[in-house]
Chain A
Amino acid sequence: MPTRTMTPGIEPGAAAALVVAPGETTVGRASAFPLRREGPGKLTGAAKYTDDLVFPGAWYGITIRSTEAHARLVAIEPDPDIDWSKVVIATAADIPGDNVVSLIKDDQPLLVPIGGEIQHHAEPVALLAAPDRETLRRLKGRIQVRTEPLPPVFDPEQSDHVFSKIEINRGDLDTGFAAADVVLEGEYRVGHQEQLYIENQAMIAVPGDAGGVVIHGSMQCPYYIHNAMKRALKLTSVEARVIQEETGGGFGGKEEYPSMVALHAALLALKCRRPVRMIYDRHEDIAATTKRHPAVVRHRTGIKRDGTLVAQDIEVVMDGGAYCTLTPVVLSRGAIHAGGPYRCPNVRIRAKATRTNTPPNGAFRGFGAPQTEFAAETHLNRLAEQLGLSPAEIRQRNVYRLGDTTPTGQVLKESVAGEEVLRLATDFSGFDAGRALSARRAAERQGSGTIPVGALRTTPERTAGGIGLALAWHGAGFTGSGEVHLASVASVELTADGRIRVLTAQTEMGQGTKTIFPLMVGGELGVPPDWVEYAAQDTAEVPDSGPTVASRTAMVVGGLCIKAARRLKAEVEARHPGVPFHEAFRDDARDHGATRIDERFQPYPGEEFDESTYTGDAYPAFGWAAAVASVDVDLDTGEVTVHDVVAVDDVGHVIHPILCEGQVEGGTLQAVGYATIEEIKVRDGRYLNDRLATYLIPTALDAPRIHTVLVEAPFSGAPHGAKGVGELPMDVGAPAVVAAIHDATGVWITDLPATPEKILAAIHGVPTRARPVGPGEAAA
């Protein structure tokens, strides 16, 4: 297998070094890596994020939200003692088009209409705009929302409203279990996780002269908003215009929710006939916007004594929240990945996502896979423990190899690097030696014998060290026929004045989009990346190259741009025989005017997926990731310190090592947060900890040292071989941390996050409460 490895730099702080075998091509790779293109603006404060923009005469908008989880909206009554003529109120009655935020299903309204059902706490019911924020604050509480309560549903397993249902079958379960030496069952739970981009949701709507609206905002997907505006506001493609401004993080949280914010701002702007700023504060952002789907995953697994998997029966239930959003697609990815990266001849995966009266859940880095792969990996570690195998051995025995078949019947024909990332992760981390060390430390603690549990123990006596391993696969790009349906277009243009421009809708939100596209295209054209412009993400300017999601930007759209650049180069060089593009293009532009190449996505040859039976090629290729986490657990307090993570990720092709490492490091820390501290407490459908003071994410002191190893097992369907990187590290971090906690303490935490309370309860054999205790509620 033509795999390359990037090893960590020798000098601390140096980027990963690339090891390239002799004779290998370096398509799309430059010899030197450019600095982040928009970096200087971000470092000097000159970069303009949405809230930094000034529009003279702009008003401020806010959203009036429900305070009930399920109710009928009877009336919206502004206080009759207030003069409302100086402000603007908008309700569902003001919506010119369909009252839906256009996505998969048309179930979510912009604003609940009078007589309609409020489906969740913090659901938008009305909008208010005023010339200043003081007026807004003063008047917000003077609009009474009258409702009649309806019975809510909070338990996704009790809900009879099913958004989506999937069943994947391979082989025969009865045969599989009959052949098993050991059968193990397990139940695993994961809760909500907030994306927590540091820039809150932000949109400014500016009405145009001819009835249109221009949106300036923080977003991942300009064309999602564009489509939503056309539908709800009855605008043409030209009247609706969406411009992405500098975006302070997304992680999936700015995939679909920004459509709602933009529609609200636009509705107010149309009614006020002036620009309206809709800038969420942190409290509103956490209380109302989408989260990672909570899930319950049940495994029943048959295994031979030598560690060979023979049967997997898996059930997945995801909580979609009150509206469908992207839930069917999240469920689909979660279900396909539910068995983990392991060969098993007899598999049944049954997955469903249902509606509850809680705020809708949506896209978040990993998109369903972190939930199901946490369950799969933790369950496999428990199987290894039961069989007396090491976590590395059981994975080594079962990990997919070239030619293996997945539960959907997909034959893995190339780019299979699970074994390689597993070996690298155990080698780089010294995994076996680390396990021996934790065992020795545990024995020493036991041997000290006389020291009682409690405050008298010294730090070494109460500190247990552990090391844990996890392995994952992550389908590259969209699931199934997603890319075929999208039929994305990306363009490379030589302008009449001799500039080279890349035109895509792919947004920069920290990953380095604006840096890697010029690098890829410049590499093909034989010109320095600095000569290649990256056009603004403005729907009036760039084609719909699809959303900036699913780790598809570098792989799919990058591939389109490389192909477009090849065509442009060939066309120009054909007009100037014997002259290379970099010498010919300026003359060519002068003599022949502009040349624009539009490259449309073509299905990967030989790939087929049947959505009705869930069989076939679920993804064109898979990325492979392994993580080894080292932790200390305080046995008196249950507190976990994750001090090191070795992250090994096969991304197919590394376009820019520093940016690529940055993705791995950031994703790894989000996974560590998911494993240890990130938790939304829900009561009566309301998030209790809806502030940054109460929803915690890791600080620099909570973060482990992260050691990244990049692996390249290229995918032949992309001209450069890239398979994407953004989501991969999110799949492995949490199970690795939970395995390390087990290595330290001997207890399995099956319900994320692994809080000190759960760890202490497990160590002392006390059952944990299924539901959190709310403020003022007595603990049982």
Chain B
Amino acid sequence: MSFRFLVNGAPAEVDVPGMRRLLDVLREDLGLTGTKEGCGEGECGACSVILDGQVVDACLVPVCQVDGHIVRTVEGLSLAARERGALDALQEAFLARGAAQCGICTPGMLMAARAYLDAGGPADDGSIREAIAGNLCRCTGYTKIVEAIGSVVHVD
């Protein structure tokens, strides 16, 4: 079956079984490998993408549910900024504050943070921790991630 949707602002069309995971469609059919697989069962959040403004685990979403919808991945996070060869404010904050270590949770973490910021989330520690509670990081202890997100709440 054929499914059409928008990925990072560009139209995409794939001809695959409807129950194929969005994660595999992104990584293998569309070559967008920025989205990572950590557990394949919705526990770690490494595959978080934004679907119509909501954070979802791409490993739990069959592509048939994406037909006609809007998907945003880490590759689309800084499209405008990347044309200038730069990172967006959130990515800059992660880089400057040491919020990315091994980097494997980072794309998913950024998408959860992006959705939080876009929804007008406040800068307090507790709200930010709640927003990224579905994204596991084993390297940082979360301290610098929470700081980085908090630092761009008003800048962004």
Contacts and interface: CB of A to CB of B under 8 A. Distances in A.
Nearest to B95: A39
A662 B141 CA distance: 8
A665 B136 contact: no
A112 to B, nearest CB: 28
Contacts of A658: 97-98, 144
Interface in B15-31: 27, 31
Contacts of B102: 197-199, 247-250, 509-510
- Most chain B CB atoms below 10 A, which of A42, A43, A281, A692: A43
Nearest to B132: A700
Interface residues of A, number: 58
A32 to B, nearest CB: 12
A667 B105 CA distance: 17
Secondary structure class of chain A's binding surface, majority of residues: loop
Given A12-B147, A13-B150, A701-B130, A661 B34 contact: no
B73 A45 contact: yes
A44 B77 CA distance: 7
A188 interface: no
B58 interface: no
Contacts of B139: 249, 510, 662, 666
A718 B136 CA distance: 36
A277 B100 CA distance: 27
A662 B145 CA distance: 10
B101 A662 contact: yes
A443 interface: no
Given A49-B104, A281-B40, A701-B129, A666 B91 contact: no
B interface, over-half SS? loop
Contacts of B146: 700
A455 interface: no
B101 A44 contact: no
A700 B141 CA distance: 8
Nearest to B108: A198
A511 B102 CA distance: 7
Nearest to A45: B34
A703 B141 contact: yes
A692 B44 CA distance: 8
Contacts of A766: none
Interface string B103-125: 11111001000000000000001
Q: Which of A15, A40, A197 has the most CB of B within 10 A?
A: A40
A323 B105 CA distance: 32
Contacts of B37: 51
B156 interface: no
A36 interface: yes
B13 interface: no
Contacts of B142: 665, 669, 700, 703
A567 interface: no
Contacts of B106: 42-43
B40 A669 contact: no
A45 B107 contact: yes
A251 B138 contact: yes
Nearest to B98: A658
Given A40-B95, A43-B87, A700-B133, A200 B103 contact: no
A665 B139 CA distance: 8
Interface of A: 12-13, 15, 35-36, 38-49, 51-52, 54, 195-200, 246-251, 281-282, 509-512, 658-659, 661-662, 665-670, 691-693, 697, 699-701, 703, 705-706
